[in-house]
């Protein structure tokens, strides 16, 4: 059987997180990263004997006609799409458009399907939905369709029967990342991926563990961790370097350093095998030690992204993110002393936010010795504790209505804050300007610039904030 995964074009962050000006900057620097979920499933299906095409229409910047040509050349029997809630309406637009040109059944998976499966299958152009992990459900679905077997016994599925949307029994998330083949990077245009901050190309992304146990109230990540062994991780790193010539890896685990023993094992193996590559991680300030940071820097880690979020203790407590300021300061200092670039994530517009708490957050952003910051407006993610609370209190389910096409992203209203939307926008721009336009900061960045490309990117990003 032939199937085509299509990562739809023009992936970008949504406007509701920023002001128009700042969003323009972000959307100009489009998301140019591989979709690992699709690449994983593609590898698995290939291993099971399927003929698989993976069209990354996003990074290749393909238009309707380009996609149509690729599909007519390959002739798949099923089209496979992915979606997160934020980009569902864009994905839907593309599914409709692609099916007008090449009409075979469409299967959709991804985080959005876990949240609004019934609403999603309400659209006729979507034929089947995979809820949650795709590793077992997708091959079972394709095999059942091929053999004309009933679908109702397959767990984690959503489909229509006699005009009614059926969801089957939930599929438990038990598959370990160790039991599936490495992502099919042989099907990806690896030389096209890039980020504003990457130093060496080609780059790729990797996941060493799924889930995070911390339960911050604004997050909807699985709380059970499914992690890979150090040996398994390093073997994928070796494949990236030796088979695909990868020079830089962005690790997208939610909290890369959560299991300290495992990280030291990974570092030992990288050192022992003399693996030469640059890499970056995301983690929490309370999950690193000075010893760990020093070793990571020695072995190629060039950037750490820390979620700092707010400077107000009351807000931090209410979102269950009690990392003391002293711990954050130490982590940032250790990282910079080790020569690692430090990126801080902050949010404004959380419930109970006031002008004073926003100003505190902006001051902290300036006070910490950070290289880059991302400051965005808080938008509750469906499935998170905060979102459930807002839903219960207001009786409104914004993301459901958005899925059904009843509201647009521009209709999103911040909840329970003591600032107007205009004030929030004012502070967002003020925060960005205050951070990126400091003379000390500009000077430090200019002397660290290594190439024209880097200088151009920095200058264009800075100018777009004006």
Tell me the closest approach of the beta carbon of residue 209 to ligand SF4, in angstroms.
Answer: 11
Binding residues for ligand B12 (CB under 6 A):
11-13, 17, 31, 33-38, 40-41, 80-82, 84-87, 107, 109-112, 115, 130, 133-135, 138, 207, 210, 219-221, 252, 254, 381-383
The residues facing 226 across adjacent strands are 210
Nearest-CA neighbor of 339 among 380, 299, 397? Answer: 299
Rounded to whole angstroms, the Cα distance separating 288 from 328 reads 10
String of DSSP letters for 258-272: SSHHHHHHHHHHHHH
User: Out of ligand SF4, ligand B12, none, which partner does residue 307 contact, by CB within 5 to 8 A per kind?
Assistant: ligand SF4
User: Out of ligand B12, ligand SF4, none, which partner does residue 232 contact, by CB within 5 to 8 A per kind?
Assistant: none
When the beta carbons of 285 and 299 are compared against ligand SF4, the nearer one is 285
Residues 292-321 that bind ligand SF4 (CB under 6 A): 307
CB contact set of 79 (below 8 Å; sequence gap of 6+): 3, 4, 6, 71, 95, 98, 99, 102, 104, 105, 106, 107
When the beta carbons of 67 and 332 are compared against ligand SF4, the nearer one is 332
C-alpha Rg value of the chain to the nearest Å: 22
When the beta carbons of 138 and 287 are compared against ligand B12, the nearer one is 138
User: Out of ligand B12, ligand SF4, none, which partner does residue 40 contact, by CB within 5 to 8 A per kind?
Assistant: ligand B12
User: Out of ligand B12, ligand SF4, none, which partner does residue 284 contact, by CB within 5 to 8 A per kind?
Assistant: ligand SF4
Instruction: Write the burial class of residue 401 (CB in 10 Å: 0-12 exposed, 13-18 middle, 19+ buried).
Output: middle
User: Out of ligand SF4, ligand B12, none, which partner does residue 252 contact, by CB within 5 to 8 A per kind?
Assistant: ligand B12
Tell me the closest approach of the beta carbon of residue 227 to ligand SF4, in angstroms.
Answer: 14
User: Out of ligand B12, ligand SF4, none, which partner does residue 115 contact, by CB within 5 to 8 A per kind?
Assistant: ligand B12
Helices (H) and strands (E) in the chain, counts: 18, 15
By CB under 6 A, is residue 281 in contact with ligand SF4? no
Cis amide linkage into residue 287, ω under 30° from 0: no
Which two three-digit tokens encode residue 381? 């993610």
Among 70, 171, 228, 284, binds ligand SF4 (CB under 6 A): 284
Instruction: Give every strand in the sheet of 341-348, ordered side by side.
Output: 203-206, 248-251, 278-283, 301-309, 341-348, 372-377
What does residue 65 show for φ and ψ, rounded to 5 degrees?
A: -65, -40
Residues 197-256 that bind ligand SF4 (CB under 6 A): 212, 214-216, 219, 221, 254-255
Placement of tokens 């795709």 in the chain = 134
Tell me the closest approach of the beta carbon of residue 364 to ligand B12, in angstroms.
Answer: 20
When the beta carbons of 137 and 305 are compared against ligand SF4, the nearer one is 305
Q: Give contact residues for ligand SF4 (rule: CB under 6 A).
A: 212, 214-216, 219, 221, 254-255, 284, 307
């Amino acid at each position: 059987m032939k199937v085509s995964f299509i990562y739809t074009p023009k992936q970008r962050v949504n406007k509701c997180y920023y002001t128009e000006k700042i969003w323009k900057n972000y959307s100009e620097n489009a998301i140019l990263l591989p979709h690992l979920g699709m690449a994983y499933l593609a590898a698995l299906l290939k291993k099971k004997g399927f003929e698989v095409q993976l069209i990354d229409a996003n990074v290749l910047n393909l238009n309707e006609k380009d996609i149509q040509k690729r599909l007519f050349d390959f002739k798949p029997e099923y089209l496979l799409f992915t979606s997160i809630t934020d980009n569902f309406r864009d994905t839907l637009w593309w599914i409709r458009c692609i099916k007008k040109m090449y009409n075979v059944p469409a299967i959709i998976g991804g985080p959005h399907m876990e949240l609004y499966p019934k609403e999603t299958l309400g659209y006729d152009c979507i034929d089947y939905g995979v809820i949650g992990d795709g590793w077992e459900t997708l091959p079972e679905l394709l095999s059942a369709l091929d053999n004309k077997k009933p679908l109702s016994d397959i767990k984690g599925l959503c489909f229509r029967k006699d005009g009614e949307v059926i969801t089957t029994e939930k599929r438990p998330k038990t598959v370990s990342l160790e039991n599936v083949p490495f992502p099919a990077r042989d099907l990806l245009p690896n030389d096209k991926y890039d980020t504003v901050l990457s130093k060496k190309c080609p780059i790729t992304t990797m996941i060493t563990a799924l889930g995070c146990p911390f339960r911050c109230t604004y997050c909807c990540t699985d709380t059970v961790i499914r992690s890979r062994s150090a040996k398994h991780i390093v073997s994928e790193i070796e494949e990236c370097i030796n088979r695909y010539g990868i020079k830089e890896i962005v690790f997208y685990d939610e909290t890369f350093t959560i299991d300290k023993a495992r990280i030291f094992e990974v570092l030992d193996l990288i050192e022992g095998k003399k693996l030469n590559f640059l890499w970056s991680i995301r983690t929490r300030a309370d999950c690193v030690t000075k010893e760990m940071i020093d070793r990571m820097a020695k072995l190629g880690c060039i950037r750490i992204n820390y979620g700092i979020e707010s400077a107000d203790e009351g807000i931090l407590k209410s979102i269950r993110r009690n990392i003391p300021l002293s711990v954050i300061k130490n982590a940032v200092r250790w990282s910079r002393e080790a020569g690692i670039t430090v990126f801080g994530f902050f949010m404004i517009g959380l419930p109970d936010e006031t002008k004073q708490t926003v100003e505190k957050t902006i001051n902290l952003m300036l006070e910490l010795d950070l290289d880059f910051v991302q400051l965005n407006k808080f938008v509750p993610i469906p499935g998170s504790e905060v979102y459930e609370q807002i839903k219960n209190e207001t009786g409104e389910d914004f993301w459901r209505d958005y899925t059904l096409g009843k509201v647009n992203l521009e209709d999103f209203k911040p909840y329970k804050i003591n600032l107007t939307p205009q004030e929030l926008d004012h502070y967002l721009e003020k925060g960005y300007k205050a951070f990126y336009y400091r003379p000390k900061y500009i000077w430090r960045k200019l002397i660290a610039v290594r190439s024209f490309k880097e200088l151009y990117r920095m200058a264009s990003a800075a100018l777009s904030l004006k």
